[in-house]
Structure 1
Amino acid sequence: MRRPSIPNISLAALTGLLTVVTGVAINVATGGSLPDQLQKYQGWAWPVVGLFASALVLVGMLQAWQTRDEPDHLRVADPFGDGPAARVVGERVSAAVDVFRDRVEFCDRLRGHVLSRPTRIVSVTGRRGIGKSGLVAKVLAEFEEPDEAADAFVDGLVYLSTRTGVGAVDTARIFHALARLLPPGQRVQLEEQWANGGVGVLSDLFLALARRKPVLVLDNLDDLQDPDTGRLASADLVSFFTSVCSCRNPPLVITTSQRPLGLPPTVGVHITRIDIDAGLEVDDALALLRHFDADGEAGLCAVPVADLRRAVREVHGIPRGLELLVTLLAERKTATLQRLFDAANAPDMLLGCLVSEGFETLDRVGRAVLRLFALADTPLPVDAIPGLLYPDAAPAAVTRCVDRLISRGMLGFERLSGRARLHPIDSDYVRRSLLDDPEQQRVLDLRLADWLATRRTEASSWRTSTDVAAQRREIRHRLRAGDVRTAVLVIAEIAEFLAEHGETDEMESDLARVRDLVDTPETRSAYELSRGLAELASGSSEEAAVAFRAGLVAARQSGDAFATARLHMWLGDALRYTGDPAAAREPLLRASALSPADGSGRAVVLRSLFALGIVECYLPDPAAAARAATRFEAILRPGDPSHWRAWLSDLRALIALVTGDHATALREVERGVANFADSPQQALVGYLQSVRGLVLLTEGAVDEAARTFRDVRQGAALYRQARLEGFAVLNLAWTSLVAGDPSGASVLACEAADHLAAHRIVEASAAVHLAMVGRAADADARRALLRRSVQAQQGNPDLFHPAEELVDRLAGPSTEP
C-alpha cells in the first residue's frame, strides 16, 4: 500500500511554517511590531524566510529525486483514489499454519531473506511431507495483515501452486496475479501491455510494484521438473526466472520443490537454497503428535513416552508422517506402534505405507471423496462436494465424511476460503492406486467438468486469462474423460479472448491432442476457428485464412448460422491482414448479415460491420463504408459497451479522412478517445490518434503531426502493438519527407521496413520503397519509388497517402526533356 513519503510530509510542514514566518516578516517591514519578548529578534524575520524557502526547495528536489526512475505511464496521479489494490493474492500454500511446530532456525533464515533480500530467489527443498509449504506459509502469514512496521519490508503477497487455481504455473498466471497487487488503473494498463508484449512487459510490472516489495510464492514445482534430471522442464518459467534475475526491482520469489530446480548457471547464482533435510526435533514432534490427538481418539495419552519417541524417530520427524500416524491409530483401533517399528522402512517408503494403511480404513464414501480431490488436483469448496458425488452417495453422508476427513487431517481445510485440499503425498497415492477404474474416473471427471461449467463468468467481465480459469480446467477434465465434443466447443468459446491476449500455448496444446478426434461438422468448425485464431495471434495470416475456410465448410455442413458468421468475420480480418482487402469484403458482408437478435449475434454483426467499413475505406469506397457505419449505429443500444461506440467513432473518423472532411474526422477522434478511455480496449486509442496525425499532415501542420505520430509510436511500443507501431514509424518517415528531410525519412523508413517485415506485415514493402527515395539518382526515380510506396500501402487508411501533386513536389523537377 502506497503512503505519503517523508519528503511529502516535510513539504507540507515547511509550506505552513513558511507562510507564518513570511506573514511576520511583512508585518515588521510595514511598520508593525512583535510582542515585547520577541522585539530583539525582529531583524531576523527575512533571513528566516529565506532559510525556510531554501529548505522547501531542497525537500522538493529530494521528493523529485525519489521518483526519478518511475516513468509517467506507471505513475499514479492519486494513489489513494485509484481504487483498492489487493494485499494477498491466491490461497495459502499450506493449511498447516496453525499447527506448525519448531523449525525455528529455518523460519529465521527464511524470514531474514524476506527482510533483507540478499538474493532474488529462495528455493526451499526437501522430501514430500517434510514441511516445506508449511514453513513458507508460516513465515509469510506474519505479513498478510497490514502493519506499518512490516509494510516497509513486504506489502504484497502472491501464492501460486501447481495444485491450486487453474493448476498450471506459467508466466501469464504469475503476471496477472502480481498485477492484482496494483490499483485498477495501473493493473488494466499493464495487462493490456501484456496482451501485446508478453514477457517483455515484466520489467514494467516489477518497476510498478517496487515500492510494495512483494513476495511471490511458487509452490510444488516438482510437477514441472524432469523426473530424471530435476531440471525445470518449462521453458516459459525458465524465461520468467531469467527476467527476475536480470530486471531491476523484481519481487522476491520463493519456490518449493523436492529437488533443486536445475536452472541455468546465470540464474543459479541468484538463488539461495534452504534445504530441509531432517524432520522435527523429538520434543517438537511429540508436541505435534499430541496436538493431532487432542480429542484422544488415537489413544496416544496411554502410550509410554519412550514408545512415542521411538515412533517419532521411525517416521523421521516428518510432519505429514506424524499426522498420518495419528490418523491411522484413530481410525484403526487394532493398529499398533509395534507394526511401525517392525517395518523399518526408509522415510519415503514408510510414508507410502502410512498413506496406504490410512486409506484402507476409509469406507466407500471416504474413498470417493478423496478420489474426487485427487482428480480435481486443486482445493475445492466443501459445500460443493455433496453435489459432485450425488447420486452415488447421500449428501448428508458426504458432509459427515468430509468433516471427519478434515478432523483426522486427511484433508486440509481453510475456514476463511471454505476450501479443502488433499496433501500432495496423498494425492499422488490416490491417483496411483485408487483411480484404477477407468469408468469411475471418467464419471468423476465429467462431474467436475459439469460443476466447473457452472463457475464460468460472463465474457464481458473477462480481463485476464485467470478469468477463464474455470473453462481451462473444464477442458482438461473433459479431454481426460473423452468428452472431445464439449471440450472443443469450450475451447472455441475462449479462443478469441486468449488469442487477443497472446496466451494461446495451452490452447494449441489442447488442439494438438484433439486434431484427429474432431469427427463431426460441429466440432470441426469449432476446432478450425480456434486453430485459425491461434495462427492469427502468432502473425500467420495466411495459415489463419486456411483454417477459417476449412471451418466454414464444416459450419455450413452443420447448419450453424452463428459459427458460420463468426468464421466469415475472422476470415475477412485474415484476408485484410494478408493484403487482400477486396477479397475480405465478401466474407464480412456475409458475417454482417447474421440476425443481431441476441448478445453474441450482435457482437459478431457489429464487429463485422466495423471490419467491413475499414475494408471499404481501403478499396476505397467511402459511400459503402458510410452505409456500414449507419447499420452499425442502428444496432447499438444505450447500455452497450463503450468500446462499441468507440469502434463507430473510429470508423467514421476513417471515412471522414478518406473523403477529406477533416473537421468531422477530428470530432470523431475525440469522441472515440473518450469512449475507449472507459473500456477494456483502451490500447486501441492509438489508431484514433493516428487519424489525427494524418489529418494534421494532410493540412500541412508538419511539426504537430510529427509529435502526434511519435506519441502513437510510443504508446504502441508500450502496449506491444506491432502493427500500429510499424505504421506510426512509416507515417513519421512520410512526415520527415514532407518536412524536407529526405535523409531522416530514409532512416525512419528503414526502421519501419525492418519492424513490419519482422512481424510479417505486408505493408513492409511500402516502407522499403520509401527508404530508397533518398538514394535515388534523379527526380524520375524518386517519383517512381514514391508511387510504388503508395501503391504498396494498398489503400490502408491508417497510412499517409500523398496526393499526386505532393508526390511530384517531393520528387523534385523532372529530368525528362
Structure 2
Amino acid sequence: MDPRLQFQQTLQNALDTYHPGWDVRHHATWEERYREAWEQNRRFNVWVDTLKRWVSGDHFPRLKKFEDFLTSVDFPLDVREELHRQFHQARMQSRRFENTPDSASTHSLMIMGQRPMSLGRPFVGREHELQVLRAMMADPTTRIVTVIGRSGIGKTALVCHVLHEIETDPSVIEDVQGLIYLTAGSDNRILEQLMSLGKPLFAADAPIHEKTQTLQQANRPLFLFLDNLEDIIDNEGNLTDPELSRFVFQALRQPSQLRLLLTSQIELAFPRDLRHLNQVVVVEKGLAEVEGIQLLRDLDPGGTCGLRDAPDELLRQAVQKVHGVPRALEVLVGILEDDRMARLDRVLADFGKWRDAQDMIQTGYRRLDTQAQWVMKALAVYRRPVRAEAIEFLLRPVMQEFLKLDLRDILQRLTRTRMVTIDRASGLISLHPIDADYAYAQLDERGPSNREVLERRAATYYEQMRIAPDFWRGAQDLEPQLAAFEHYLKAGDAEAALQQIGERGFDALLLWGHGQRVIGVRQRVVGKLGDARMEYMNLFGLAKAYQVSGQFQEAVDCFGRAMIMAAAAGDTARVRLSLVGLGDIYRNQGRYTEAVDCYLQALAASDEQDLEAEASALLGLGLIYHQMGDDESALERVRQALNLAEKDPLLQSRCTMMLGYIARNQGYYAEALVQTEQSLHLAELAQDLNGVGNSHSLLGLIHGELGHYNTAEQHLTRAVEIATKSGDLGSQCQRLSRLCSLEIDNGDTIKAHTYGTEALDIATRIGGWAGERLARWQLGRLALATGDPHTAISQLMAAAEVAREIQSNLDLQPIMTHLALAYLALGRLKEALETIETSPAYATTIHRPMGMMTQGLILMKLGDVWGAENALQEAIAAADGLLKSPPIYIRAGYIKATALAGLAVVNENEQANYLQQSQKTLERTLQNYQGAGLVAEMERWLAELQQTIGDADLLAPLWKLLRSVK
C-alpha cells in the first residue's frame, strides 16, 4: 500500500476511535467540525488547513505542523507514536513524486563524506529515540547531540536514519546547508579529513584557519556527524586529538549554525562552561522481541537463511539469545549466510564461539586492563544489580592485589565506556546482558578461581544477608535465599540450592501468593537431587504449587509421583497428605466420587500424630456433602476438622470460612459474616494470601446479597487482585463470576459482560468445570437481564449440564430456576414447567423462594390457579424466613412482593389485602436497596403477571414504586 494512503487510513481510524465524527477524507467539512479547536488553538487551524490541501493532492504537511497537530489532538501514546512513524514514511514517499523543490528551500543540500551505513540497510524500531533525536536536531538552539550506547546497540543506524530523512525531505529542517559524515579512527587526522571533505564550503585557496572559521561560524544549519568517537577518547573522556578538541570547543563557544552529532561508547568530557550544551540520547536496551523478529526477517528478504519464513517462536529465541542487540542480530544473519549448512538453533547454542560474534562483543574489552575485566566477570557471576561490596567480597580471595586497588576508580572507567551502569539512588551496579554473557564465558572451568568456586562464593555472600524466618513479612525477605539458590544451582549443587529456601520458605511464598515463582524454582531441581527423600518432598511441594495456581493436571501428576516414592520410603504421612491433595483437586473439578475415595483412604491411614491430613480430609468431605445438599453431614465433618485444627490458624481459617459459607446458604447472614470475618482474620494471622483471597471473595458474595454494593465490590476486587497475583486461575474465574453477578444486580450490564466473559475464557482455558458452571450461569442471568432469552437458554443449559456432571445440587436448582424463567419469557410454558419440576428437590434456603415463585408464575399462566396459589404461598413462607431478622437477603423482599402480587391476581377475595401487603413489602425493600438490576428483575416478573390479567390498573401502585427509583 502507498505509505501516504496507509497514513491517511491510520489517522482516520485513530480519529474514528478517539474523536468520532472527524473525517480526513471529506476535507470540505473540516472547517465546521474543527471550529471549536480552531478557536482554542490557532496552530491547530494552520495544520488542518495544510492537511486539507494535502488530502486534495495539493500539498503534504511539514513536520512542525504535524507536531502541532499531535499536540492539539488527544491520542494515547502508542497511537501517537505509530502516527508519527507512518507520517515520516508517507512524507518521504510524497517527496519522491514531487518534481519541484520545496519553495522554502532556496539552496541545494550538500552531502559530504561517506555515510557509515548503506541506505538499503533495514531499520526497525527505536520510535522513541527517533522522536527525541528528531526534536533535538530540529531545535535551532541545539549545538551538539551525543548518542551514547554500547557497541552494536544501533547508535550509528539511528543517526543515519534521521539524517537520511533530512536528505530526502528538506522540509524536515528548512534551509539545511549540508551534511558532513566522518568516522573516527586511531590515526588522529580527523580535522584534516574534515577540511578535505568540506571543500565545497571553502574557497579553493583559503588557508586552514579560514576554513575552520567558515565551519565554526556557519550561518545556515550544517550537520557534522562524527561516528565512533570512542576511538579517539581516552579513559578519562578527553579527546586524544588536540586539534579536533580545540575546533569542537571553539565552535561551541561562538554563535553558529554548525550542529555536531556524535556517537560514542564513552561520554566526552566537556569543559565546565560547555556542559550545558551537550544533549544526550542514551540507547541502552536492545530491540523489543517483535522488532527484533521483524529485523531478522528484513535481513533475509530472499529467504536464503531460513529466517524470512521461520516461525515467530524460533526467531523470538534468537532475539532473546542476543538480547535484541541489532548488530548481534546482523552477525547472526551473516553467520547463516556464510554457512548454508548451519541451522539457527545450533548457531544460537554456540553463538558466543563464532568469530564474528566474538569480534563484535570484544570491541569494548580491548581497552580494559586485567582488574577491570575481573570486575566485569564478578558482575557477570552475580547476573543482577549489586553493590560495590558484593564485587569486593567475590574477588577478595581471587586477587589479593585487588585489595590495593581503588574499585571506585575502576567502576568510573567502566561507566564511561557504557559497559557498566550505576544507579545513583540505590548504588546498584549492573552489566549489559550481552557483556555479561561474554564475560561469564571467559571464566575458567578449572583452577583456584574457576566458575564453580566463584558461584559458591557468590552464594555465600547472599547467605550472610539472610534474616530469621520469624521476621519474614513478604517475598522480599526471601530474596537472599532465592539468589543463593541460583548460584548453588549454577555451581552444580542442586541439594544445597534447595536447602537455601527450605520447606518453610516455600510454604511462605505460597501463602503470599507466589505460586508461579515456587513452580519455577522447584521445577529446575526435579531429577537433580541425589537424596530420594528430597526428591519426593520437592515433587510434593511442586504439586502444592501447581494446585494453588489452578494447574490441576500437573498437580495430579506430581502428587501421584510423590505418593509412590513416599510409599516406597515408608513415609506414610506424606502418602496421606498426597491423598488429601488429590482429593482437593478432584473436588474442585467436580469429580466427587474420586475425591471422597481419596479422603476416606487418607482418614483410614491417619493416626493421632497426623492431625493435618485428618483435618484436611474431613474438611474436604464436608465441602462435598454440602455441595450435594447434605448440610447435617457437612457441618459434622467441618466441626470435627475445626476441633483438630485448634493450634493451626491456617486450618482454622479454612474451617471457619466453610462454616460461614454454609450459614450463608442457609440464610443465617449474621452468623455467616461473623464466621467469614473470623476466617479473614485467621488467614491474615497465618499470612495465608490465598486464604485471605477466599475470605474476601465470600465476604463480597455475602455483602452483595445484603445490598451492600460498595463493600461487596471492594471485597471481590481485592479477591481478584490476589488470585491474579498468585496465578490462581481457578479462583480468579470464580471471583470474576461473582463480580459479574454483583454488577447484574446493580444494573451495570457492560461491566457484568466484561467480568462474565473473562471468567468463561479462563474456565475454558484451564478446563475448570466448577468455574465454567458458575460463569455460564451468570452469563445466562445477564442475557435475561438484557432481553435475550435465547442466549440465556443456551448458557443456562450448558451450566446445568456441567452442574449435573459434577453432582452440584447446590447450584443446579437456581440454574434451573433461571432456565425456567428464560422459557417463560419466550412463552414456552410446557418447557418452563418441566424445567422447574425436574430441578433438584434440595435447594439452599436462599434459593428456595425464587424457585417456588417462578413455579407459581408458570402455573398461573397455564391456568392452574390452585397450583399457582400453593407455590406462591410457599415462596412467601420461604422469603419470610429470610426476612425475619437482620441482616436480610435483599432479593427475598422483591420475591415476596411479587408473590403477594401473584396471590392478588389468583385470589380475588383477598385481592386488596394481598396488594396492600405487596406494596408495603416493596416499599420496605426499596428502602434497603434500590439496585437497578434487581428492580428491573422484579419488573420482568410483574410483566409476566400483567399478561395474565385484564385489569391494567391492578398492579399500577407496584409499577409506580419501581419506576420512582429510576
Question: What is the TM-score with the length of structure 2 in the denominator?
Answer: 0.40
Question: What is the TM-score with the length of structure 1 in the denominator?
Answer: 0.45
Larger C-alpha radius of gyration, 1 or 2?
A: 2
